[in-house]
Amino acid sequence: MRTQVGIIGSGPAGLLLARLLHLQGIESVILERQSRAYVEGRIRAGVLEQGTVNLLREAQVAERMDREGLIHDGVSLAFDGRSTRIDMHTLTGGSTVLVYGQTEMTRDLIQAHLDAGGVIKYEAPAVAVEDFLTSQPRITYEEAGRRQELTCDFVAGCDGYHGVARKSVAADKIRLFEKIYSFGWLGILSDTPPVDEELIYANHERGFALCSMRSHTRSRYYVQCDLDDQVENWTDDAFWDELRRRIPPQFAERLVTGPRLEMSIAPLRSFVAEPMRFGKLFLAGDAAHIMPPTGAKGLNLAASDIFYLSQALIAYYGQNRADLLDRYSDACLRRVWKAIRFSWWFTSLMHKFGDDPINRRLQLAELDYLANSEAARTAVAENYVGLPFESFE
């Protein structure tokens, strides 16, 4: 089989790339290890930066997002029984975020791409990427138990942290940065009205908590837990009781609880691979970088990588330009490291790190400073709404 761009992974990165290329008449084939139902069933975050929203509109998959998404002007930080609101809209001169589940976004992208005749091969795991330092890269994959080969001009490794694309690169050609946190997030999804109109990030001596939502009737909550904790250890009531303890009384009093639709534990890590391009192989999204979900940057960084990669490939096929392909990795990494820094800072401020009392004093002092400094809140707002996609022209 032959195509122009071979894409491994039908997550947000791979799907958005295929869609943007398709709209410019550039052919691609997506190889996805899982089934369509599995991919569409994954519970993931859903806070979209303006840049991501604009890209989804450009990809002409925004109709349901614009109809059902919730625009948020602000976010609250809770600590010491009180909370301070970061008025992002005012502090950034009008920028906001849109709450729309990644699961919904993925479904919209899959439907639009297949309706337009796009090719997505499900249950077709890629085994390896070869010859990507030559002019004819190949992806070997399995389909119906048989080994197949896809030759292409370019390979986009959008196969996440555990994928094969990055692993196909020789160890001496890639530099990996990693930080693993000693705790995780226990999350619950419930058909209950959110405790507040906007998100609440809570710092508490018992650990972090987050109050989020998917709609006005479906909520998503998280509490910091030990890495070796198990979902089986938590009844719904135990979760709700712990959440109530960690959020200020004015929110705890009005928390509506209900049975879980889903409960899971997510580990926290920061990870970056440098560079993000190896000849004809381009890494994008979680294949190249992962960060703690504090600040909801994972999905938005996948989108910004695709902002750059789609432009570079469109310039190559449209104007025979290779210069943007050459600048892809640097352009992405400049934005990636800023998001990694913000996620690390926000995680350090809001989570419980061991029992050293000075940690907590420092966190509370910084939160009190934030509550009283417009300049400090502006810095948070700028990063939370998303730093601009710097042009790499």
Q: If binding is defined by CB under 6 A, does position 310 make contact with ligand PHB?
A: no
State the DSSP string of 35-69. Answer: -HHHHHH-----EE-HHHHHHHHHTT--HHHHHH-
Strand residues in 80-218 grouped as ranges (E)? 82-87, 97-99, 119-121, 126-130, 138-143, 146-151, 154-157, 175-190, 200-203, 209-213
100 among known catalytic residues: no
Q: If binding is defined by CB under 6 A, does position 332 make contact with ligand APR?
A: no
173 among known catalytic residues: no
Q: If binding is defined by CB under 6 A, does position 296 make contact with ligand PHB?
A: yes
Residue 60: how many CA atoms within 13 Å on its side-chain side?
12
Q: What residue 220 binds from ligand PHB, ligand APR, none (CB within 5 to 8 A, per partner kind)?
A: ligand PHB
Question: Looking only at residues 103 through 142 of this chain, which bind ligand APR when binding is defined by CB under 6 A?
Answer: 125-126
Q: If binding is defined by CB under 6 A, does position 295 make contact with ligand PHB?
A: yes
Catalytic residue from among 141, 221, 293, 308? 293
Q: 12 or 194: whose CB is closer to ligand APR?
A: 12
Which strand (E) or helix (H) includes residue 377? Answer: helix 374-385
Q: What residue 295 binds from ligand PHB, ligand APR, none (CB within 5 to 8 A, per partner kind)?
A: ligand PHB
Please say whether the beta carbons of 190 and 243 come within 8 A: no
Query: CB of 319: closest distance to ligand PHB in angstroms?
Result: 39
293 among known catalytic residues: yes
Q: What residue 212 binds from ligand APR, ligand PHB, none (CB within 5 to 8 A, per partner kind)?
A: ligand PHB
The tokens describing 320, both together, are 């025979």
72 among known catalytic residues: yes
Q: If binding is defined by CB under 6 A, does position 159 make contact with ligand APR?
A: yes
Q: If binding is defined by CB under 6 A, does position 285 make contact with ligand PHB?
A: no
Please say whether the beta carbons of 46 and 101 come within 8 A: yes
Q: If binding is defined by CB under 6 A, does position 14 make contact with ligand PHB?
A: no
Which strand (E) or helix (H) includes residue 225? Answer: strand 219-226
The closest alpha carbon to 194, from 93, 31, 76, 370, belongs to 76
As beta bridge partners, residue 29 has 6, 119
167 among known catalytic residues: no
Round to whole Å and give the CA distance between 127 and 179.
27
Please say whether the beta carbons of 243 and 221 come within 8 A: yes
Q: What residue 126 binds from ligand APR, ligand PHB, none (CB within 5 to 8 A, per partner kind)?
A: ligand APR
DSSP state, residue 218: -
Number of other residues whose CB lies within 10 A of the CB of residue 15: 29
The tokens describing 372, both together, are 């009283």
Round to whole Å and give the CA distance between 344 and 365.
18
Span from 158-166, 186-194, 319-327, 353-361 in contact with ligand APR (CB under 6 A): 158-166
# chain residues binding ligand APR, by CB under 6 A: 26
Q: If binding is defined by CB under 6 A, does position 286 make contact with ligand APR?
A: yes
Catalytic residue from among 100, 141, 181, 201? 201
Q: If binding is defined by CB under 6 A, does position 47 make contact with ligand PHB?
A: yes
Q: If binding is defined by CB under 6 A, does position 33 make contact with ligand APR?
A: yes
Asked if the peptide bond before residue 293 counts as cis, ω within 30 degrees of 0, the response is no
Q: 22 or 335: whose CB is closer to ligand PHB?
A: 335
Q: What residue 51 binds from ligand PHB, ligand APR, none (CB within 5 to 8 A, per partner kind)?
A: none
Query: CB of 3: closest distance to ligand APR in angstroms?
Result: 15
Residues belonging to the active site: 72, 201, 293, 297, 384
Footprint on this chain of ligand PHB (rule: CB under 6 A):
45-47, 199, 212, 220, 293-296
Footprint on this chain of ligand APR (rule: CB under 6 A):
8-14, 31-34, 39, 44, 102, 125-126, 158-160, 163-164, 285-286, 298-299, 302
